[in-house]
Homo-oligomer: A and B are copies of this chain.
Amino acid sequence: CEDCGRVYRADHYIKEKMQVELDESIEAVNEVLETYDLRCECGGKFKNPEHFNLMFSTRIGPGKGKSGYLRPETAQGIFIDFRRLSDYFRGRLPFGVTQIGRVYRNEISPRQGVIRLREFNQAELEYFVDPRKKTHERFDEYKEVKITLVDKFDNEFRIKLDDAVKKGIIANKLLGYFIGKTREFLLEIGVKEDKMRFRQHKDDEKAHYAIDCWDAEALTEYGWIELVGIADRGDYDLKRHSQMSGEEMNIFIQFKEPAKAGRKKLKPIMSKLGPKFRSKAKAIAKKIENYDGDVENSIVIELDDEEINIGKEFFEIEEVEEEIYGEKIIPHIVEPSFGLDRMVYTVLEHSFDRDIVDGEERKVLRLKRWLAPVQVAVLPLLTKDEFINVAQEITETLKKSGIFTEYDDSGSIGRRYRRYDEIGTPFCITIDHQTLNDGTVTLRDRDTTEQIRIKIDDLISALWELINTDREIFKFGVKFR
Protein backbone atom coordinates (compact mmCIF):
# COMPACT_ATOMS: atom_id res chain seq x y z
CA CYS A 1 0.00 0.00 0.00
CA GLU A 2 1.30 3.46 -0.90
CA ASP A 3 -0.22 5.04 2.19
CA CYS A 4 0.08 2.68 5.15
CA GLY A 5 2.85 0.43 3.80
CA ARG A 6 0.97 -2.78 4.50
CA VAL A 7 1.99 -5.68 2.29
CA TYR A 8 -0.59 -8.05 0.83
CA ARG A 9 -0.27 -11.29 -1.00
CA ALA A 10 -1.94 -10.17 -4.23
CA ASP A 11 -3.39 -13.48 -5.40
CA HIS A 12 -4.91 -14.20 -1.97
CA TYR A 13 -6.32 -10.68 -1.70
CA ILE A 14 -7.91 -10.78 -5.14
CA LYS A 15 -9.34 -14.21 -4.44
CA GLU A 16 -10.87 -12.93 -1.22
CA LYS A 17 -12.37 -9.80 -2.79
CA MET A 18 -13.30 -11.03 -6.24
CA GLN A 19 -13.69 -14.79 -5.79
CA VAL A 20 -11.45 -15.43 -8.77
CA GLU A 21 -8.32 -17.52 -9.09
CA LEU A 22 -5.60 -15.82 -11.11
CA ASP A 23 -2.62 -17.33 -12.77
CA GLU A 24 0.51 -16.06 -11.12
CA SER A 25 1.63 -13.46 -13.65
CA ILE A 26 2.26 -9.87 -12.61
CA GLU A 27 0.22 -8.74 -15.63
CA ALA A 28 -2.90 -10.61 -14.59
CA VAL A 29 -2.70 -9.16 -11.08
CA ASN A 30 -2.13 -5.64 -12.40
CA GLU A 31 -5.06 -5.89 -14.77
CA VAL A 32 -7.47 -6.92 -12.03
CA LEU A 33 -6.16 -4.31 -9.58
CA GLU A 34 -6.63 -1.53 -12.14
CA THR A 35 -9.87 -2.68 -13.70
CA TYR A 36 -11.64 -2.99 -10.36
CA ASP A 37 -9.69 -0.22 -8.60
CA LEU A 38 -8.91 -2.51 -5.68
CA ARG A 39 -7.44 -0.68 -2.71
CA CYS A 40 -5.87 -1.32 0.65
CA GLU A 41 -8.19 -1.63 3.64
CA CYS A 42 -6.94 1.83 4.69
CA GLY A 43 -8.19 3.22 1.37
CA GLY A 44 -4.72 3.75 -0.11
CA LYS A 45 -3.72 2.74 -3.60
CA PHE A 46 -1.44 -0.22 -4.17
CA LYS A 47 2.08 0.05 -5.48
CA ASN A 48 2.99 -2.21 -8.38
CA PRO A 49 2.77 -5.86 -7.40
CA GLU A 50 6.00 -7.84 -7.27
CA HIS A 51 6.93 -11.46 -7.32
CA PHE A 52 7.83 -12.66 -3.86
CA ASN A 53 9.86 -15.78 -3.30
CA LEU A 54 8.43 -17.85 -0.46
CA MET A 55 11.82 -19.47 0.00
CA PHE A 56 14.45 -17.94 2.27
CA SER A 57 17.64 -17.32 0.33
CA THR A 58 21.22 -17.17 1.57
CA ARG A 59 24.77 -17.31 0.22
CA ILE A 60 26.93 -20.38 0.76
CA GLY A 61 30.70 -20.39 1.04
CA PRO A 62 33.38 -17.68 1.16
CA GLY A 63 33.48 -14.51 -0.94
CA LYS A 64 30.18 -13.83 -2.65
CA GLY A 65 29.41 -17.52 -2.35
CA LYS A 66 26.79 -19.49 -4.19
CA SER A 67 23.09 -18.87 -3.99
CA GLY A 68 21.19 -21.26 -1.71
CA TYR A 69 17.71 -21.66 -0.27
CA LEU A 70 16.19 -23.12 2.87
CA ARG A 71 14.00 -26.07 1.96
CA PRO A 72 10.26 -25.33 1.88
CA GLU A 73 9.38 -29.05 2.20
CA THR A 74 11.31 -32.21 3.01
CA ALA A 75 10.06 -34.09 -0.06
CA GLN A 76 12.53 -32.87 -2.68
CA GLY A 77 15.55 -34.22 -0.80
CA ILE A 78 14.03 -37.68 -1.05
CA PHE A 79 13.37 -37.32 -4.79
CA ILE A 80 16.94 -36.24 -5.44
CA ASP A 81 18.18 -39.35 -3.62
CA PHE A 82 15.88 -41.57 -5.67
CA ARG A 83 18.63 -43.63 -7.31
CA ARG A 84 20.33 -44.41 -4.03
CA LEU A 85 17.02 -45.20 -2.35
CA SER A 86 15.84 -47.49 -5.13
CA ASP A 87 19.19 -49.32 -4.90
CA TYR A 88 18.62 -49.68 -1.17
CA PHE A 89 15.28 -51.34 -1.90
CA ARG A 90 17.02 -53.40 -4.59
CA GLY A 91 14.96 -51.83 -7.34
CA ARG A 92 11.64 -53.28 -6.26
CA LEU A 93 8.36 -51.36 -6.05
CA PRO A 94 6.55 -50.31 -3.98
CA PHE A 95 8.82 -48.67 -1.41
CA GLY A 96 8.39 -45.77 0.96
CA VAL A 97 10.80 -43.25 2.45
CA THR A 98 9.99 -40.97 5.37
CA GLN A 99 11.67 -37.86 6.63
CA ILE A 100 10.98 -35.62 9.60
CA GLY A 101 12.45 -32.14 9.69
CA ARG A 102 12.26 -28.40 9.92
CA VAL A 103 11.13 -26.53 6.82
CA TYR A 104 11.07 -22.82 6.08
CA ARG A 105 8.66 -20.56 4.23
CA ASN A 106 9.00 -16.81 4.16
CA GLU A 107 5.29 -16.22 4.84
CA ILE A 108 4.23 -12.64 4.22
CA SER A 109 2.04 -12.60 7.30
CA PRO A 110 2.57 -15.42 9.79
CA ARG A 111 -0.27 -15.51 12.29
CA GLN A 112 -2.72 -17.61 14.31
CA GLY A 113 -0.23 -19.05 16.79
CA VAL A 114 1.44 -22.13 15.39
CA ILE A 115 -1.00 -22.39 12.47
CA ARG A 116 1.06 -20.33 10.05
CA LEU A 117 4.74 -20.21 10.96
CA ARG A 118 7.83 -19.21 9.03
CA GLU A 119 9.62 -22.30 10.28
CA PHE A 120 7.71 -25.43 11.09
CA ASN A 121 8.08 -29.19 11.31
CA GLN A 122 7.01 -31.66 8.68
CA ALA A 123 6.89 -35.44 8.56
CA GLU A 124 6.59 -36.68 5.01
CA LEU A 125 6.30 -40.13 3.47
CA GLU A 126 7.10 -40.51 -0.21
CA TYR A 127 5.62 -43.78 -1.39
CA PHE A 128 6.96 -44.93 -4.77
CA VAL A 129 4.60 -47.19 -6.64
CA ASP A 130 4.04 -48.88 -9.98
CA PRO A 131 1.43 -46.62 -11.67
CA ARG A 132 -0.60 -49.69 -12.65
CA LYS A 133 -0.75 -50.99 -9.09
CA LYS A 134 -2.03 -48.11 -6.97
CA THR A 135 -3.24 -50.18 -4.10
CA HIS A 136 -1.88 -51.38 -0.76
CA GLU A 137 -1.78 -54.89 0.64
CA ARG A 138 -3.48 -53.67 3.80
CA PHE A 139 -6.24 -51.60 2.22
CA ASP A 140 -8.75 -54.23 3.33
CA GLU A 141 -8.03 -53.45 6.99
CA TYR A 142 -9.60 -50.02 6.45
CA LYS A 143 -12.24 -50.64 3.81
CA GLU A 144 -15.15 -50.80 6.28
CA VAL A 145 -14.07 -47.60 8.04
CA LYS A 146 -16.58 -44.75 7.80
CA ILE A 147 -15.11 -41.32 7.19
CA THR A 148 -16.38 -37.81 6.62
CA LEU A 149 -15.47 -36.63 3.14
CA VAL A 150 -15.88 -33.26 1.48
CA ASP A 151 -15.45 -33.81 -2.23
CA LYS A 152 -14.20 -31.29 -4.76
CA PHE A 153 -17.76 -30.08 -5.39
CA ASP A 154 -18.11 -29.23 -1.67
CA ASN A 155 -20.46 -32.13 -0.97
CA GLU A 156 -20.00 -33.46 2.56
CA PHE A 157 -20.98 -37.03 3.43
CA ARG A 158 -20.14 -40.02 5.63
CA ILE A 159 -19.06 -42.98 3.56
CA LYS A 160 -17.16 -46.26 3.83
CA LEU A 161 -13.65 -46.01 2.42
CA ASP A 162 -14.31 -48.98 0.16
CA ASP A 163 -17.39 -47.30 -1.32
CA ALA A 164 -15.57 -43.99 -1.79
CA VAL A 165 -12.92 -45.76 -3.85
CA LYS A 166 -15.44 -47.88 -5.77
CA LYS A 167 -17.49 -44.82 -6.70
CA GLY A 168 -14.34 -43.08 -7.91
CA ILE A 169 -14.56 -40.28 -5.34
CA ILE A 170 -11.11 -41.27 -4.07
CA ALA A 171 -8.93 -41.93 -7.10
CA ASN A 172 -7.41 -45.24 -5.99
CA LYS A 173 -7.05 -47.77 -3.17
CA LEU A 174 -3.59 -46.51 -2.27
CA LEU A 175 -4.91 -43.03 -1.48
CA GLY A 176 -7.80 -44.75 0.31
CA TYR A 177 -5.35 -46.73 2.42
CA PHE A 178 -3.41 -43.64 3.46
CA ILE A 179 -6.64 -41.80 4.28
CA GLY A 180 -7.72 -44.69 6.52
CA LYS A 181 -4.30 -44.96 8.12
CA THR A 182 -4.11 -41.20 8.70
CA ARG A 183 -7.55 -41.16 10.33
CA GLU A 184 -6.47 -44.00 12.63
CA PHE A 185 -3.30 -42.13 13.59
CA LEU A 186 -5.11 -38.85 14.26
CA LEU A 187 -7.66 -40.64 16.47
CA GLU A 188 -4.82 -42.37 18.32
CA ILE A 189 -3.13 -39.10 19.25
CA GLY A 190 -6.42 -37.55 20.36
CA VAL A 191 -7.92 -35.60 17.45
CA LYS A 192 -11.70 -35.85 17.87
CA GLU A 193 -13.59 -37.94 15.32
CA ASP A 194 -16.44 -35.41 15.06
CA LYS A 195 -13.96 -32.59 14.41
CA MET A 196 -12.11 -34.39 11.62
CA ARG A 197 -12.81 -34.58 7.92
CA PHE A 198 -11.04 -35.31 4.66
CA ARG A 199 -11.42 -32.60 2.05
CA GLN A 200 -10.60 -33.10 -1.61
CA HIS A 201 -8.69 -30.39 -3.44
CA LYS A 202 -10.74 -28.67 -6.09
CA ASP A 203 -9.45 -28.90 -9.65
CA ASP A 204 -8.17 -25.32 -9.62
CA GLU A 205 -6.66 -25.73 -6.14
CA LYS A 206 -4.45 -28.74 -6.59
CA ALA A 207 -1.08 -28.66 -8.30
CA HIS A 208 -1.48 -29.06 -12.07
CA TYR A 209 0.36 -32.38 -12.04
CA ALA A 210 -1.47 -33.90 -9.06
CA ILE A 211 -3.84 -36.75 -9.86
CA ASP A 212 -5.88 -36.47 -6.65
CA CYS A 213 -5.28 -34.72 -3.35
CA TRP A 214 -6.99 -34.94 0.06
CA ASP A 215 -6.42 -32.86 3.17
CA ALA A 216 -7.08 -34.26 6.63
CA GLU A 217 -8.65 -31.27 8.37
CA ALA A 218 -9.48 -30.60 12.01
CA LEU A 219 -12.01 -28.15 13.39
CA THR A 220 -10.32 -25.76 15.83
CA GLU A 221 -10.79 -22.27 17.24
CA TYR A 222 -9.21 -21.10 13.99
CA GLY A 223 -11.80 -22.95 11.89
CA TRP A 224 -11.01 -25.99 9.77
CA ILE A 225 -7.24 -26.31 9.40
CA GLU A 226 -5.18 -28.71 7.32
CA LEU A 227 -3.21 -31.23 9.39
CA VAL A 228 -2.16 -33.66 6.70
CA GLY A 229 -2.04 -33.47 2.92
CA ILE A 230 -2.31 -36.76 1.03
CA ALA A 231 -1.46 -36.31 -2.62
CA ASP A 232 -1.06 -38.57 -5.62
CA ARG A 233 1.71 -36.59 -7.34
CA GLY A 234 1.93 -38.88 -10.37
CA ASP A 235 5.34 -39.08 -12.01
CA TYR A 236 5.84 -35.31 -12.12
CA ASP A 237 8.64 -34.97 -9.55
CA LEU A 238 10.87 -37.76 -10.82
CA LYS A 239 10.29 -36.73 -14.43
CA ARG A 240 11.28 -33.12 -13.74
CA HIS A 241 14.33 -34.01 -11.66
CA SER A 242 15.36 -36.44 -14.37
CA GLN A 243 14.95 -33.80 -17.10
CA MET A 244 16.92 -31.19 -15.16
CA SER A 245 19.75 -33.45 -14.00
CA GLY A 246 19.94 -35.77 -17.00
CA GLU A 247 19.95 -38.70 -14.57
CA GLU A 248 17.63 -41.62 -15.24
CA MET A 249 15.07 -41.99 -12.47
CA ASN A 250 13.18 -45.14 -13.24
CA ILE A 251 12.72 -48.72 -12.18
CA PHE A 252 13.21 -51.78 -14.37
CA ILE A 253 10.21 -54.04 -14.02
CA GLN A 254 10.72 -57.60 -15.14
CA PHE A 255 7.91 -59.29 -17.07
CA LYS A 256 6.61 -62.55 -15.64
CA GLU A 257 7.15 -64.10 -19.06
CA PRO A 258 9.64 -62.54 -21.45
CA ALA A 259 7.60 -60.91 -24.21
CA LYS A 260 8.24 -61.56 -27.87
CA ALA A 261 8.43 -58.52 -30.07
CA GLY A 262 8.92 -58.23 -33.80
CA ARG A 263 11.76 -55.95 -34.79
CA LYS A 264 13.35 -54.88 -38.07
CA LYS A 265 17.01 -55.80 -38.15
CA LEU A 266 19.28 -54.28 -40.80
CA LYS A 267 22.03 -56.21 -42.59
CA PRO A 268 24.63 -53.99 -44.27
CA ILE A 269 25.63 -54.86 -47.84
CA MET A 270 29.40 -54.51 -47.79
CA SER A 271 29.81 -54.82 -51.55
CA LYS A 272 27.95 -51.54 -51.94
CA LEU A 273 29.23 -49.75 -48.82
CA GLY A 274 32.91 -50.43 -49.60
CA PRO A 275 33.20 -48.60 -52.93
CA LYS A 276 31.10 -45.69 -51.68
CA PHE A 277 32.49 -45.04 -48.18
CA ARG A 278 36.00 -46.54 -48.46
CA SER A 279 37.86 -46.44 -45.15
CA LYS A 280 34.68 -45.59 -43.24
CA ALA A 281 32.70 -48.50 -44.65
CA LYS A 282 33.44 -50.89 -41.82
CA ALA A 283 32.43 -48.44 -39.09
CA ILE A 284 29.27 -47.57 -40.99
CA ALA A 285 28.38 -51.23 -41.41
CA LYS A 286 28.56 -51.66 -37.65
CA LYS A 287 26.31 -48.67 -37.09
CA ILE A 288 23.79 -50.08 -39.54
CA GLU A 289 23.78 -53.42 -37.72
CA ASN A 290 23.05 -51.73 -34.42
CA TYR A 291 20.52 -49.27 -35.83
CA ASP A 292 17.38 -49.23 -33.74
CA GLY A 293 15.17 -46.49 -35.23
CA ASP A 294 12.52 -46.26 -37.88
CA VAL A 295 13.37 -47.24 -41.42
CA GLU A 296 11.91 -45.29 -44.34
CA ASN A 297 13.72 -44.86 -47.62
CA SER A 298 16.92 -44.09 -45.83
CA ILE A 299 18.37 -43.96 -42.33
CA VAL A 300 20.58 -41.42 -40.62
CA ILE A 301 23.58 -42.59 -38.63
CA GLU A 302 26.10 -40.60 -36.70
CA LEU A 303 29.82 -41.14 -37.16
CA ASP A 304 32.55 -38.96 -35.66
CA ASP A 305 30.03 -36.19 -34.96
CA GLU A 306 28.92 -36.26 -38.58
CA GLU A 307 25.43 -37.29 -39.68
CA ILE A 308 25.42 -39.56 -42.69
CA ASN A 309 22.40 -40.42 -44.78
CA ILE A 310 22.36 -44.06 -45.85
CA GLY A 311 19.95 -45.02 -48.64
CA LYS A 312 18.13 -48.34 -48.37
CA GLU A 313 20.18 -49.76 -51.24
CA PHE A 314 23.02 -50.22 -48.73
CA PHE A 315 21.23 -52.71 -46.44
CA GLU A 316 18.73 -55.53 -46.36
CA ILE A 317 15.80 -55.57 -43.94
CA GLU A 318 15.18 -58.71 -41.96
CA GLU A 319 12.19 -59.26 -39.65
CA VAL A 320 13.38 -60.86 -36.40
CA GLU A 321 11.59 -61.81 -33.23
CA GLU A 322 13.28 -60.79 -29.98
CA GLU A 323 12.66 -61.55 -26.33
CA ILE A 324 12.02 -58.56 -24.08
CA TYR A 325 12.50 -59.21 -20.39
CA GLY A 326 10.96 -56.11 -18.89
CA GLU A 327 10.45 -52.41 -19.16
CA LYS A 328 11.57 -49.22 -17.49
CA ILE A 329 8.89 -47.18 -15.78
CA ILE A 330 8.89 -43.95 -13.81
CA PRO A 331 7.20 -44.69 -10.47
CA HIS A 332 4.29 -42.59 -9.31
CA ILE A 333 4.53 -40.96 -5.91
CA VAL A 334 1.82 -40.84 -3.28
CA GLU A 335 2.74 -38.47 -0.46
CA PRO A 336 1.15 -38.14 2.97
CA SER A 337 2.63 -34.95 4.45
CA PHE A 338 2.05 -34.24 8.15
CA GLY A 339 2.24 -30.78 9.75
CA LEU A 340 3.56 -31.57 13.21
CA ASP A 341 3.05 -28.18 14.90
CA ARG A 342 -0.59 -28.04 13.85
CA MET A 343 -1.17 -31.59 15.06
CA VAL A 344 0.30 -30.78 18.46
CA TYR A 345 -1.89 -27.66 18.66
CA THR A 346 -5.03 -29.57 17.66
CA VAL A 347 -4.40 -32.34 20.16
CA LEU A 348 -4.00 -29.74 22.93
CA GLU A 349 -7.17 -27.90 21.93
CA HIS A 350 -9.26 -31.06 21.51
CA SER A 351 -7.97 -32.41 24.84
CA PHE A 352 -8.60 -29.28 26.87
CA ASP A 353 -11.72 -29.43 29.01
CA ARG A 354 -13.36 -27.83 32.04
CA ASP A 355 -15.59 -29.60 34.52
CA ILE A 356 -16.79 -29.18 38.08
CA VAL A 357 -14.96 -31.02 40.87
CA ASP A 358 -15.91 -30.54 44.52
CA GLY A 359 -18.06 -27.60 43.50
CA GLU A 360 -15.21 -25.80 41.77
CA GLU A 361 -14.32 -25.44 38.13
CA ARG A 362 -11.41 -27.62 37.13
CA LYS A 363 -9.18 -27.29 34.06
CA VAL A 364 -8.16 -30.66 32.74
CA LEU A 365 -6.19 -31.79 29.72
CA ARG A 366 -7.68 -35.12 28.65
CA LEU A 367 -4.61 -36.29 26.75
CA LYS A 368 -4.48 -39.90 25.65
CA ARG A 369 -2.85 -41.77 28.51
CA TRP A 370 0.03 -43.15 26.42
CA LEU A 371 0.74 -39.71 24.97
CA ALA A 372 0.95 -37.72 28.21
CA PRO A 373 4.45 -36.33 28.82
CA VAL A 374 4.02 -37.12 32.51
CA GLN A 375 2.07 -40.36 32.85
CA VAL A 376 2.25 -40.76 36.61
CA ALA A 377 2.81 -38.27 39.44
CA VAL A 378 3.94 -39.65 42.79
CA LEU A 379 2.81 -37.47 45.69
CA PRO A 380 3.65 -37.87 49.38
CA LEU A 381 0.65 -36.64 51.39
CA LEU A 382 2.97 -34.93 53.89
CA THR A 383 6.55 -33.70 53.54
CA LYS A 384 7.83 -36.03 56.23
CA ASP A 385 10.76 -38.34 55.63
CA GLU A 386 8.73 -41.55 55.99
CA PHE A 387 6.34 -40.40 53.23
CA ILE A 388 9.03 -38.89 51.03
CA ASN A 389 11.26 -41.97 51.10
CA VAL A 390 8.49 -44.31 49.96
CA ALA A 391 7.41 -41.84 47.27
CA GLN A 392 10.90 -41.43 45.86
CA GLU A 393 11.46 -45.17 45.84
CA ILE A 394 8.24 -45.68 43.87
CA THR A 395 9.25 -42.89 41.48
CA GLU A 396 12.59 -44.55 40.72
CA THR A 397 11.01 -47.97 40.24
CA LEU A 398 8.39 -46.67 37.83
CA LYS A 399 10.94 -44.62 35.88
CA LYS A 400 13.17 -47.66 35.47
CA SER A 401 10.25 -49.66 34.09
CA GLY A 402 9.84 -47.06 31.34
CA ILE A 403 6.88 -45.09 32.71
CA PHE A 404 7.22 -41.28 32.53
CA THR A 405 7.01 -40.48 36.23
CA GLU A 406 7.40 -37.30 38.24
CA TYR A 407 7.80 -36.80 41.97
CA ASP A 408 6.19 -33.74 43.56
CA ASP A 409 5.89 -32.71 47.21
CA SER A 410 5.18 -29.01 46.83
CA GLY A 411 1.79 -27.61 47.87
CA SER A 412 -1.39 -29.16 49.25
CA ILE A 413 -2.50 -32.49 47.82
CA GLY A 414 -5.54 -30.85 46.22
CA ARG A 415 -3.39 -28.26 44.53
CA ARG A 416 -1.04 -30.94 43.26
CA TYR A 417 -3.93 -32.95 41.79
CA ARG A 418 -5.07 -29.82 39.90
CA ARG A 419 -1.56 -29.15 38.67
CA TYR A 420 -1.31 -32.63 37.14
CA ASP A 421 -4.87 -32.48 35.78
CA GLU A 422 -3.84 -29.33 33.97
CA ILE A 423 -0.82 -30.88 32.25
CA GLY A 424 -2.77 -34.03 31.36
CA THR A 425 -1.16 -36.54 33.73
CA PRO A 426 -3.57 -39.50 33.69
CA PHE A 427 -2.64 -41.01 37.08
CA CYS A 428 -1.60 -39.74 40.51
CA ILE A 429 -0.24 -42.00 43.23
CA THR A 430 -0.51 -40.73 46.79
CA ILE A 431 1.48 -42.04 49.73
CA ASP A 432 -0.64 -41.55 52.87
CA HIS A 433 -0.75 -42.77 56.47
CA GLN A 434 -2.22 -46.12 55.48
CA THR A 435 0.75 -46.73 53.14
CA LEU A 436 3.06 -46.94 56.14
CA ASN A 437 0.81 -49.59 57.71
CA ASP A 438 -0.14 -51.89 54.85
CA GLY A 439 2.03 -51.01 51.81
CA THR A 440 -0.88 -49.74 49.72
CA VAL A 441 -1.17 -46.38 47.99
CA THR A 442 -4.04 -44.54 46.34
CA LEU A 443 -4.22 -44.41 42.56
CA ARG A 444 -6.28 -41.55 41.15
CA ASP A 445 -7.75 -41.33 37.67
CA ARG A 446 -7.49 -37.88 36.05
CA ASP A 447 -10.73 -38.04 34.07
CA THR A 448 -13.09 -39.28 36.78
CA THR A 449 -11.06 -38.14 39.83
CA GLU A 450 -11.99 -41.55 41.32
CA GLN A 451 -9.42 -43.34 43.48
CA ILE A 452 -8.59 -46.93 44.37
CA ARG A 453 -6.18 -48.46 46.87
CA ILE A 454 -3.53 -50.70 45.37
CA LYS A 455 -0.44 -52.52 46.64
CA ILE A 456 2.87 -50.89 45.77
CA ASP A 457 4.04 -54.21 44.30
CA ASP A 458 1.14 -54.26 41.85
CA LEU A 459 1.72 -50.74 40.53
CA ILE A 460 3.97 -51.48 37.56
CA SER A 461 1.79 -54.11 35.92
CA ALA A 462 -1.42 -52.17 36.61
CA LEU A 463 0.02 -48.93 35.23
CA TRP A 464 1.43 -50.59 32.13
CA GLU A 465 -2.01 -51.93 31.34
CA LEU A 466 -3.82 -48.70 32.21
CA ILE A 467 -1.48 -46.52 30.17
CA ASN A 468 -1.74 -48.68 27.08
CA THR A 469 -5.51 -49.19 27.20
CA ASP A 470 -8.66 -47.27 28.15
CA ARG A 471 -9.51 -49.60 31.05
CA GLU A 472 -10.97 -48.28 34.29
CA ILE A 473 -8.89 -48.22 37.45
CA PHE A 474 -11.47 -50.34 39.28
CA LYS A 475 -10.11 -53.41 37.53
CA PHE A 476 -7.07 -53.08 39.79
CA GLY A 477 -8.51 -52.27 43.21
CA VAL A 478 -11.53 -51.19 45.20
CA LYS A 479 -12.83 -47.69 45.29
CA PHE A 480 -11.29 -45.52 47.98
CA ARG A 481 -13.58 -42.97 49.73
Interchain CB contact under 8 A, B60 and A106: yes
Interchain CB contact under 8 A, A60 and B102: no
User: Are A58 and B58 CB-contacts (below 8 A) given A90-B410, A410-B90?
Assistant: yes
Partner of A70, one of B58, B108, B410: B58
User: Are A56 and B62 CB-contacts (below 8 A) given A101-B102, A410-B90?
Assistant: no
Interchain CB contact under 8 A, A62 and B70: no
For A113, the chain B residues whose CB sits under 8 A away are: none
For A7, the chain B residues whose CB sits under 8 A away are: 62-63
For A36, the chain B residues whose CB sits under 8 A away are: none
Partner of A108, one of B52, B57, B59, B61: B61
Partner of A56, one of B52, B60, B108, B410: B60
Q: Which of A56-76 contact B (CB under 8 A)?
A: 56-63, 65, 68, 70
Q: Which of A69-121 contact B (CB under 8 A)?
A: 70, 90, 101-102, 106, 108, 118
For A118, the chain B residues whose CB sits under 8 A away are: 60
Give the nearest-CB partner of A52 in chain B. B62
For A56, the chain B residues whose CB sits under 8 A away are: 58-60, 68
For A61, the chain B residues whose CB sits under 8 A away are: 106, 108
Bound Cα distance A337, B62 (Å): 26
Interchain CB contact under 8 A, A108 and B62: yes
For A63, the chain B residues whose CB sits under 8 A away are: 7
How far apart are A387's CB and chain B's nearest CB, in angstroms?
A: 20
Bound Cα distance A473, B57 (Å): 55
Bound Cα distance A102, B102 (Å): 8
Q: Which of A259-296 contact B (CB under 8 A)?
A: none
For A65, the chain B residues whose CB sits under 8 A away are: 106
Give the nearest-CB partner of A410 in chain B. B90
Bound Cα distance A60, B55 (Å): 10
User: Are A58 and B57 CB-contacts (below 8 A) given A90-B410, A102-B102?
Assistant: yes
Bound Cα distance A61, B70 (Å): 14
Bound Cα distance A65, B53 (Å): 12
| Contact mask for chain A residues 131-175; partner B; CB cutoff 8 A; 1 contact, 0 none | 000000000000000000000000000000000000000000000
Q: Which of A20-75 contact B (CB under 8 A)?
A: 52, 56-63, 65, 68, 70
Give the nearest-CB partner of A411 in chain B. B90
How far apart are A459's CB and chain B's nearest CB, in angstroms?
A: 22
Q: Which of A402-430 contact B (CB under 8 A)?
A: 410
For A68, the chain B residues whose CB sits under 8 A away are: 56
Bound Cα distance A251, B61 (Å): 42
Of listed A52, A57, A58, A102, residue having the most chain B CB within 10 A: A58
Give the nearest-CB partner of A92 in chain B. B410
Give the nearest-CB partner of A62 in chain B. B7
Q: Which of A201-216 contact B (CB under 8 A)?
A: none
How far apart are A227's CB and chain B's nearest CB, in angstroms?
A: 23
Bound Cα distance A231, B60 (Å): 29
How far apart are A352's CB and chain B's nearest CB, in angstroms?
A: 19
Give the nearest-CB partner of A63 in chain B. B7
Q: Which residues of A contact B (CB under 8 A)?
A: 7, 52, 56-63, 65, 68, 70, 90, 101-102, 106, 108, 118, 410
Given A56-B68, A65-B106, A90-B410, 9 more pairs with CB closer than 8 A: A7-B63, A56-B59, A57-B58, A58-B58, A60-B118, A61-B106, A62-B106, A70-B70, A101-B102
18 contacts between A and B (CB under 8 A): A7-B62, A7-B63, A52-B62, A56-B59, A56-B60, A56-B68, A57-B58, A57-B59, A58-B58, A58-B70, A59-B106, A60-B106, A60-B118, A61-B106, A61-B108, A70-B70, A101-B102, A102-B102
Shortest 4 CB-CB contacts between residues of A and residues of B: A7-B62, A56-B58, A62-B108, A58-B58
